[in-house]
Structure 1
């Protein structure tokens, strides 16, 4: 589920995407890639094209007023936004929202604030929420880094989900990857004690980088046993996407990382 990639077999949230965030889409970077976002301003996504269908456009009109949250540079009131007080998880880049909708359904006691900039993905998740009656999702169609910086005070999140962010396969583009020290620190600061960051990728080099960056953040601890190489078992709430299933059949791996706020 703003924003936020996939490995060779999955599309990507870049954190934004249009595929599995569990669905994010991952298009290969162009040869003429612009300067690295961190050299200008930290961002959580790379804008990519995508066609919004008539059904998704209708979802904006029918369900947008109910589920969309406007970006405002001021702290968000979760109780007013969701109509209840409940633990809130931030998702960065949900792609087309299939996994996001599933997770919200199996965790009805948790609120999910979901950032995605791709209109087709936002429209698709709006449609799912409206037609399936999923009341614990709200969508901010804006860059997640702005949302983090200006709408989320420290110590307010129960969790953060970053599923299949763009891996930026080429070595010269690795610095474009979302999960780097500056963002990880921002996320850790906004977690409540015991809150978690759950990342997943199907690109092993990116998994290794995620593990390194998360492990060196002093506010976090790895919940996985060192015997497992530092990688976690896939939590039950995260579904296998069709892209993962296809990759698994082809012998590709998927790596989950779950770190907890100390």
Structure 2
């Protein structure tokens, strides 16, 4: 267990633990693929994860928080075989679907974690060990009274920044204008980060357009990207 003084964070309810049954295929992925691909955060040994050992190679570690159904994650991992790609997600059926997508694409550089990203970052990610963190389309909690549940808050961003290596990036994307503005304000106020752009980053061509982003466009919502760098 790391000995540094960790950021003090309240418990953040930043997601909904969805219910429902998995499909037969998703359950098969959990039965056959999960033992070699994943860990539950609650079952991790104490201390930081040894990613070089888990991936059986040293390589830059990129963490994606909230991989959903894995549509984007599987493609991004497949497109960057030189990276040790890690995804953390609370939704078990989503992880099952991600494993199926990764299997179809023959992805070998992907590992999965099931549980709370705050616990993962606080207890199991070493300081200055990540080359990048991606948070694409987190739950917007659009009602004003629920804004406090949003993941991107000052304490969380400070925690993420502490886990990034110098030059590492925090890349965020959302199609909710108010949340995008909150992200920009919060990240700009974090002294360990600097914006690579005057405000919004150009939408990267390598980020796949998901069905949810397509639906947002149809509903008149514009997706915005932010890319901050650890200084």
TM-score by length of 2: 0.91
Equivalence for 1:22: none
- Matches for 1:210-249 after TM superposition, within 5 Å: 210-224=183-197, 226=198, 230-249=199-218
Partner of 1:251: 220
Which of 122, 134, 142 does residue 161 from structure 1 map onto? 134
CA distance in structure 1 between the aligned counterparts of 2:78 and 2:57, rounded to whole angstroms: 16
**How far has the Cα of 1:40 moved from its partner?**
5.3
In angstroms, what is the RMSD of aligned CA positions?
A: 1.6
- 5+ long unaligned stretches in structure 1: 1-37
Q: Per-residue deviation at 1:246?
A: 2.9
1:196/1:130 CA distance change after superposition, 3 Å = same
1:47 aligns with 2:47: no
What is the rounded CA distance, in whole Å, between the counterparts of 2:53 and 2:72 in structure 1? 25
Higher relative contact order at CA 8 Å, sep ≥6: structure 1 or structure 2? 1
Q: What TM-score comes out, normalization by structure 1 length? A: 0.80
**Number of the residue aligned with 1:195:** 168
- Picking from 61, 70, 88, the partner of 1:97 is 70
Unaligned runs of 5+ in 2: 1-7
2: CA distance, partners of 1:42 / 1:108: 33
Provide the C-alpha distance between the structure 2 equivalents of 1:101 and 1:158, rounded to a whole number of angstroms: 18
Counterparts of 1:202 and 1:245, CA distance in 2: 10
SS in 1 for 2:39: coil
Q: Aligned partners of 2:178 and 2:15: how far apart in 1? A: 19
Cα shift at 1:234: 1.6
More strand per residue: 2
Equivalent residue runs for 1:1-262 within 5 Å: 41-71=11-41, 72=44, 73-224=46-197, 226=198, 230-262=199-231
Closer/same/farther in 2, CA of residues 43 and 157 from structure 1, 3 Å limit? farther
**Secondary structure of 1:209's aligned partner:** helix
Shift of the alpha carbon at 1:156? 0.2
Aligned to 2:3: none
CA contact (8 A) 1:166 1:177 kept: yes
Label 1:39 to 1:182 Cα distance change in 2 as closer, same or farther (>3 A). Answer: closer
CA, structure 1 residues 158+39, in 2 after alignment: closer, same or farther (shift >3 Å)? closer
- Whether the aligned pair in 1 keeps the contact of 2:87 and 2:112 (CA below 8 Å) is yes
Question: Once the 2 structures are TM-superposed, how far is the Cα of residue 153 of structure 1 from its aligned partner?
Answer: 1.1
Q: More deviation in 242-251 or 208-217?
A: 242-251
Count of matched residue positions in the alignment of Structure 1 and Structure 2: 221
CA distance in 2, matches of 1:52, 1:134: 22
Q: Is the contact between residue 9 and residue 155 of structure 2 (CA under 8 Å) also seen in structure 1? A: no
